[in-house]
Amino acid sequence: MLSALAQESRLAIFRLLVEAGPAGRSAGQVAEVLAIAPATLSFHLKELARAGLIEGRQDGRYVIYSACFAEMTALIAYLSENCCRASVAADAASCGTPPSPGETACSASAPQEVRLIARKNIEAIVSRERKKP
């Protein structure tokens, strides 16, 4: 998943689709907003879909692409849980305070405001995902 987002155009496409929410955008709209040639866009959409980050659905003669919020939430949860695990002990040793139960190294070392914003963003994404028909 992360390798799919490591390319600048794919990251821009994914951001646009996340901003569009579950309604998504047509391939033509994505191409117009991001000024990407149709053949290039098609390649990037295929790579994002193969990574499980987006999905396309037929709507008449258009294909509407949307971000896979469940996959994105799972990725964020995984990274939050595992990305900095090794530094928990170092953080605790340096400040003398171990992280609270359930707190990861990322959350233990992040400022309170950053943790609150991240949690609210994740909760909003999960809430929107639950409301989908």
pLDDT single digits (tens) 93-120 = 444 444 455 544 444 444 455 555 556 6
Residues 56-99 pLDDT 10s: 999 999 999 999 998 888 888 877 777 655 555 455 444 444 44
Among the candidates 46, 67, 88, a domain finishes at: 67
DSSP 48-81: HHHTTSEEEEEETTEEEEEE-HHHHHHHHHHHHH
Range of the domain at 54: 2-67
Cα(40)–Cα(56) distance, integer angstroms: 16
Alpha carbons 18 and 8: distance in angstroms, whole number: 15
Q: What is the Cα–Cα distance from 97 to 37, expressed in whole angstroms?
A: 53
Total domains in the chain come to 2
Q: Is the separation of the CB atoms in 53 and 1 below 8 Å? A: yes
- Indicate if 112 and 57 belong to the same structural domain: no
> Could you give the CA distance from residue 28 to residue 50 in angstroms, rounded to a whole number?
20
Q: Residue 99 has what DSSP assignment? A: P
How many beta carbons lie within 10 A of that of residue 45, not counting itself?
21
Same domain, 15 and 51: yes
Is the pTM higher than 0.85? no
What is the rounded CA–CA span in Å between residue 80 and residue 102?
11
